[in-house]
Amino acid sequence: MNEGMKVDRDSVSLIIMIAEDLFKNKAFNETINYCKLILSEFPDIKDAKVLLYRSLKELNDPSSTEVLNELLKDYPDDPLVKSLTESVDSNLSNKVEVKKDESNIEQKSEFQTIEKDNVITANEAENLLDRSLEEINSINGVLGSIIIEESGLVIRAKILENLDPEITSALFSTIFSVSEDSISKTELGLIDRIFIEIGKVRIYLFKGNGYILGIFTEEVVKIGLILIKAKQLLKNIKQVLEQ
């Protein structure tokens, strides 16, 4: 996060969105930094304080208790704030139950899930990828997104009508291939992302294991938001293509 970053009322919602995505990705320290940045200018933003509390709690930071007390004082009847206290009580109950039955090693807590091997069908895979692309396309200023194989074959695409998916995928594949060949000669390491500016349009390319994610945006879209959303989308792609 840029230390010199300033916050105004118009940008609060965007910063909270970024902080929420960081929290979902377990980047709790970064989440805390964004929340504190918001609260330093606008201490009345409840959502930022709630997210600050949840992040501190995940890190077992004792200052989370102070933040929770402030929330209870300022918003005693707010359902969201009340749910935080219920969560605390639930966690305490879970700890007691675990002590009573230590042999139950598969017991779940609120923040822990036990994942089993899941095999998704072809239709489920296509739906997951479509939903993922639609979610990132729903961001104001995003013009489209596409998933391709490294060879240039289109996997899924939701881009502007005037863009040909086949030509676009071939272009992106070539860009990565040529860039990797050039960089390999300099021994600087591997490329996992490329940013391109063409007039008022930006193109973000992210490489996974055998595939490339491309995102088209207007220049007004914050790069931090695209990076976060791309990280989430790459996880969904990995779930489908690398299972």
Q: What is the pLDDT of residue 106?
A: 42
- Among 7-11, 96-100, 118-122, the minimum mean pLDDT is found in 96-100
Question: Among candidates 186, 202, 87, which has minimal Cα distance to 194?
Answer: 202
Per-residue three-class SS string for the chain: CCCCCCCCHHHHHHHHHHHHHHHHCCCHHHHHHHHHHHHHHCCCCHHHHHHHHHHHHHCCCCHHHHHHHHHHHHCCCCHHHHHHHHHHHHHHHHHHHHHHCCCCCCCCCCCCCCCCCCCCCHHHHHHHHHHHHHHHHCCCCEEEEEEEECCCCEEEEECCCCCCHHHHHHHHHHHHHHHHHHHHHHCCCCCCEEEEEECCEEEEEEECCCEEEEEEEECCCCHHHHHHHHHHHHHHHHHHHCC
Q: Give the residues across from 38 on adjacent strands.
A: none
Domain segments of the chain as ranges = 9-100, 122-241
> What pLDDT, in 10s, does the model give residues 127-168?
888 888 888 888 888 888 999 888 888 888 888 777 788 888
98-102, 180-184, 187-191 — which one is most confidently predicted on average? 180-184
Assigned token pair, 13 = 């919602």
Question: Among candidates 82, 70, 77, which has minimal Cα distance to 45?
Answer: 70
> What pLDDT, in 10s, does the model give residues 85-109?
776 545 544 544 444 444 443 443 3
Decide which of 1.10.1740.10, 3.30.9.10, 3.30.70.370, 1.25.40.10 is the CATH code for 9-100.
Answer: 1.25.40.10
Q: What is the pLDDT of residue 53?
A: 93
Q: What is the pLDDT of residue 183?
A: 76
Q: What is the pLDDT of residue 173?
A: 87
Q: Name the fold adopted by 122-241.
A: Beta-Lactamase (3.30.450)
Question: For the whole model, what pTM was predicted?
Answer: 0.49
Vertex 31 angle, CA 29 and 32, to 5°: 65
Q: What is the pLDDT of residue 181?
A: 78
Cα–Cα distance, 234 to 140 (Å, whole number) = 20
Say how far residue 61 (Cα) sits from the centre of its chain: 23
